[in-house]
């Protein structure tokens, strides 16, 4: 089987048909015409000024609160560099983004996983943990269309998290790359917007609204924190990529980004609806929450299914998935993550059918 | 005085007139036409395949030995992350690049500075240090047109360094961003080329041959080392910027990069010659080696001159320089670094005249 025949539910990346290459071409040309000096030079660790202004305006904060990074994972890395040392207690969601777990483990943080319910992290469980004496420096939260669970944190829980952060003196890292990729329902306010006590460091990205290959993300936080990150970033890479930033700025300022987001959302809604339909048809035992946005759907296949066996068999059949165990410290053996961002709707049913075949063939 | 009136000898960046913006425009358009999928996606931590192949070919190594980074300072950072912990002995040149010192100090490395002579690091002084029992993990060497000293490491010394590295079991970090910016004399072989014992990790950059704003550098090293860096890079930023890499690849493959290098070299030669002439005229007591390439000229103004006073006074007069003390752990009070990369030849004499005025006004 050739690589192009593979149906990949594994990687959270867009298919090429939903990336506006022509728009990026126009934007990069405009960037080189309008800001050649900025593109030719180093720039500074905070980011390209027009990009920062655009972001400050979007998030209704001061430019001083904004710092652009080479993708939003780089924002995670800087935050962890500054806040997480050996044995630093950190709250993580269970399940959560595998690269978050990896980054925290590299720094030998003391991880405290808290269950993610259908409306986001279980705040009672978190509160009990805090009452038991755990004093985290940081809680890592993916509020919208969580990776991998696909669920969204309710407004009530957002408020409660902010209260707990103030009461127990920790920071919330609101990791929000999927913010604008909502294809159903009403947007909720970010914790960054709701916060009045400098309790939130927020990060997002253009990987889902423009494309990943321009590697541009950003952080929003208290000025003194942003200044510390800038100082660190300056010693690591001097400045984030000015060419990518100036291109994205033009793409955003022209309004092309809104069209791009609409294209992405329409395609993803179609894909997730097909995915849910196919799961009900081919894997009726599967439990899942159909997301209102984002890239991921989390499936539990129930007892008797060992995804450690299902995943390699599915790969042999031409379907790639990611094992649930990658997203938790313990457990997750009967779960898996399906990314629907890269699979055109017309191939999804075939993918799920083959996945169901792998489940059937590997049953205990 | 407006910022544009300032004569900046402070930053190692090109002036806009020697950056081929039109060539970059053409290259980015071609990149989006030929490799839209690569630009739309994440890519991988090793870098854009065509870029790696081009680099492997340039340096006559295997693709497996090449990894692209977001600028070459990022290569330093990864190398230091992997090799330098608290109290790790590291050889540094004296003087050396200020950001190198900063990166090593952040990691609490034990720094051993070794004098830089007119033909590069003093290998006898290094050998004496090794004989005294110092066992470095790493020696950081800028072989061509050293920053800040402007001098080039002789071929004899390159060979001797490799012998010492084998004998005393340390790695050489050959930090070589100025390799192609030679405007006089013959190129010397890199230590990476001369090495037969996997003793060299090499880094270079497109910041001087294309421009800094595309933030693209690279490392060459033993495969197992490159694999370790890739693993780390994947946890920090997933992949280096594919858009910048695909653009630079097109710029390089079309041959535009050779024209760009010729433009840069011609301008820099003119600037350095003017700078040397103006220094002899306005500051006859200045001691310096006129570089055969690169961006920097290092000046010693002799006893009685305190650059800590000269630099701020010069800035008031509209001329920016960097104090010698930034590039050494101790000493350097009567030295300063002049970057001639950003100052058009016709403004250099005025800049040096004002610098001489600042020296005169601040004399003890």
Of B41, B235, B239, the CB nearest to A99: B235
> Choosing among B16, B28, B40, B248, which should be mutated to test the A contact, i.e. which has the most A CBs within 10 A?
B40
Contact A212 B243 (CB under 8 A): no
Q: Which of residues 179-208 of B touch A (CB under 8 A)?
A: 207
- The answer to whether residue A43 neighbours chain B at the CB level (below 8 Å) is yes
- The answer to whether residue A42 neighbours chain B at the CB level (below 8 Å) is yes
Q: Give contacts of B41 with chain A, Cβ < 8 Å.
A: 13-14, 16, 211-213
- The answer to whether residue B36 neighbours chain A at the CB level (below 8 Å) is yes
Question: Each residue of A75-96: pLDDT tens digit?
Answer: 999 999 999 999 999 999 999 9
Q: Give contacts of A103 with chain B, Cβ < 8 Å.
A: 235
pLDDT given for residue A177 in this prediction: 97
Q: Give contacts of A42 with chain B, Cβ < 8 Å.
A: 11, 13, 207, 212-213
Chain mean pLDDT for chain A? 96
> Choosing among B31, B243, B295, which should be mutated to test the A contact, i.e. which has the most A CBs within 10 A?
B243
- The answer to whether residue A41 neighbours chain B at the CB level (below 8 Å) is yes
Q: Please tell me what DSSP assigns to residue A220.
A: E
Can you tell me the distance from the alpha carbon of A201 to that of A198, in angstroms, rounded to the nearest whole number?
A: 8
Q: Which residue of A has its CA nearest to B25?
A: A29
Rounded to a whole number of angstroms, the distance from the CA of A303 to the nearest CA of chain B is 33
Question: Each residue of B230-248: pLDDT tens digit?
Answer: 999 999 999 999 999 999 9
Stretch A141-166: mean pLDDT, rounded?
97
- Ordered strands of the A287-288 beta sheet: A287-288, A296-300, A335-339, A322-323
pLDDT given for residue B2 in this prediction: 52
Asked if B297 and B337 count as a contact pair (C-beta separation under 8 A), the reply is yes
Stretch B78-83: mean pLDDT, rounded?
97
Contact A214 B25 (CB under 8 A): no
Stretch B334-360: mean pLDDT, rounded?
97
pLDDT given for residue B179 in this prediction: 97
Of A41, A70, A102, the CB nearest to B13: A41
Handedness of CA B298, B303, B304, B306 (dihedral sign): positive
Q: Which of residues 249-278 of A touch B (CB under 8 A)?
A: none
Q: Give contacts of B37 with chain A, Cβ < 8 Å.
A: 16
The single residue listed with the structure tokens 């037969």 is B196
ipTM at complex level: 0.95
Q: Give contacts of A33 with chain B, Cβ < 8 Å.
A: 25
Question: Each residue of B20-61: pLDDT tens digit?
Answer: 999 999 999 999 999 999 999 999 999 999 999 999 999 999
pLDDT given for residue A1 in this prediction: 47
Can you tell me the distance from the alpha carbon of B209 to that of B206, in angstroms, rounded to the nearest whole number?
A: 5
Of A102, A214, A236, the CB nearest to B235: A102
- The answer to whether residue B215 neighbours chain A at the CB level (below 8 Å) is yes
Give alpha helix (H) positions in A43-137. 49-59, 72-83, 98-106, 123-131
Say how many CB pairs under 8 Å bridge A and B. 159
Rounded to a whole number of angstroms, the distance from the CA of B36 to the nearest CA of chain A is 7
Beta strands B89-94 and B66-69 are unpaired
Can you tell me the distance from the alpha carbon of B341 to that of B239, in angstroms, rounded to the nearest whole number?
A: 30
- The answer to whether residue B320 neighbours chain A at the CB level (below 8 Å) is no
Contact B40 A239 (CB under 8 A): no
Asked if B347 and B7 count as a contact pair (C-beta separation under 8 A), the reply is yes
pLDDT given for residue A121 in this prediction: 98
Contact B243 A14 (CB under 8 A): no
- The answer to whether residue A100 neighbours chain B at the CB level (below 8 Å) is no
Contact B40 A77 (CB under 8 A): no
pLDDT given for residue A161 in this prediction: 98
Can you tell me the distance from the alpha carbon of B42 to that of B64, in angstroms, rounded to the nearest whole number?
A: 19
The first and second tokens of residue A298, run together, are 């989390």
**Separation of CA A146 from chain center:** 7
Contact B70 A71 (CB under 8 A): no
Is the pLDDT at A2 greater than 90, yes or no?
A: no
The first and second tokens of residue A142, run together, are 């993916």
**Separation of CA B221 from chain center:** 18
Can you tell me the distance from the alpha carbon of A289 to that of A150, in angstroms, rounded to the nearest whole number?
A: 7
Rounded to a whole number of angstroms, the distance from the CA of B304 to the nearest CA of chain A is 33
Beta strands B200-205 and B217-220 are antiparallel
Of A14, A237, A244, the CB nearest to B71: A237
- The answer to whether residue A240 neighbours chain B at the CB level (below 8 Å) is yes
Contact B213 A238 (CB under 8 A): no
Cβ-proximal residues to B47 (8 Å cutoff; 6+ apart), any chain: B66, B67, B68, B69, B218, B239, B240, B245
Q: Please tell me what DSSP assigns to residue A45.
A: T
Of A29, A37, A73, the CB nearest to B25: A29
Contact B213 A25 (CB under 8 A): no
pLDDT given for residue B225 in this prediction: 98
Can you tell me the distance from the alpha carbon of A262 to that of A256, in angstroms, rounded to the nearest whole number?
A: 10
Stretch B55-71: mean pLDDT, rounded?
98
Is the pLDDT at B111 greater than 70, yes or no?
A: yes
Cis peptide before A95 (omega within 30 of 0): yes
Q: Give contacts of B19 with chain A, Cβ < 8 Å.
A: 36, 40
| Residue A11's pLDDT band (cuts 50, 70, 90) | confident
Rounded to a whole number of angstroms, the distance from the CA of B283 to the nearest CA of chain A is 30
Question: Each residue of A293-310: pLDDT tens digit?
Answer: 999 999 999 988 999 999
Contact A213 B243 (CB under 8 A): yes
Could you tell me how many residues make up chain B? 364
Q: Give contacts of B73 with chain A, Cβ < 8 Å.
A: 235-238
Q: List domains and CATH numbers for chain A.
A: 3-19+258-361 (3.90.1150.10), 21-256 (3.40.640.10)
Rama region for B157: left / alpha / beta (φ>0; ψ in -120 to 50; rest):
alpha
pLDDT given for residue B11 in this prediction: 84
Can you tell me the distance from the alpha carbon of B65 to that of B46, in angstroms, rounded to the nearest whole number?
A: 10
Q: Which residue of B has its CA nearest to A18?
A: B40
The first and second tokens of residue A38, run together, are 């900025």
The first and second tokens of residue A194, run together, are 């709701």
Rounded to a whole number of angstroms, the distance from the CA of B30 to the nearest CA of chain A is 9
Rounded to a whole number of angstroms, the distance from the CA of A266 to the nearest CA of chain B is 18
pLDDT given for residue B1 in this prediction: 47
Q: What percent of chain B has pLDDT over 90?
A: 97
Is the pLDDT at A134 greater than 80, yes or no?
A: yes
């Amino acid at each position: 089987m050739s690589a192009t025949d593979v149906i990949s539910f594994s990687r959270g990346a867009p298919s090429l048909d939903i990336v506006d290459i022509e728009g990026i071409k126009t934007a990069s040309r405009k960037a080189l015409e309008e800001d050649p000096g900025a593109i030719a030079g180093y720039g500074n660790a905070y980011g390209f000024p027009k990009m920062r202004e655009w972001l400050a305006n979007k998030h209704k904060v001061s430019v001083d609160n904004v710092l652009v990074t080479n993708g939003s994972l780089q924002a995670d890395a800087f935050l962890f560099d500054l806040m997480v040392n050996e044995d630093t207690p950190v709250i993580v969601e269970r399940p959560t983004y595998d690269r978050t777990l990896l980054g925290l483990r590299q720094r030998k943080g003391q991880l405290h996983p808290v269950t993610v319910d259908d409306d986001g992290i279980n705040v009672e469980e978190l509160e009990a943990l805090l009452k038991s004496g755990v004093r985290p420096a940081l809680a890592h939260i993916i509020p919208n269309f969580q990776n991998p669970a696909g669920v969204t944190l309710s407004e009530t829980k957002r408020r409660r998290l902010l209260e707990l952060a103030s009461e127990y003196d920790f920071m919330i890292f609101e990791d929000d790359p999927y913010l604008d990729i909502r294809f159903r329902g009403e947007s909720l306010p970010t914790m960054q917007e709701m916060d009045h006590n400098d309790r939130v460091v927020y990060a997002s990205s253009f990987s889902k609204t423009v494309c990943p290959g321009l590697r541009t993300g950003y952080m929003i936080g208290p000025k003194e924190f942003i200044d510390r990150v800038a100082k660190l970033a300056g010693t690591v890479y001097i400045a984030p990529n000015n060419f990518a930033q100036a291109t994205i700025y033009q793409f955003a300022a022209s309004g092309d980004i809104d069209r791009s987001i609409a294209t992405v959302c329409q395609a993803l809604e179609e894909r997730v609806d097909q995915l849910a339909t196919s799961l009900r048809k081919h894997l009726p035992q599967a439990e899942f929450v159909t997301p209102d946005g984002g890239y991921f759907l989390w499936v539990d296949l129930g007892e008797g299914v060992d995804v450690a066996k299902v995943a390699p068999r599915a790969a042999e059949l031409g379907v790639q998935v990611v094992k649930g165990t990658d997203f938790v410290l313990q457990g997750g053996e009967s779960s898996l993550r399906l990314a629907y961002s890269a699979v055109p709707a017309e191939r999804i049913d075939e993918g799920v059918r083959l996945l169901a075949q792998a489940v059937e063939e590997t049953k205990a």
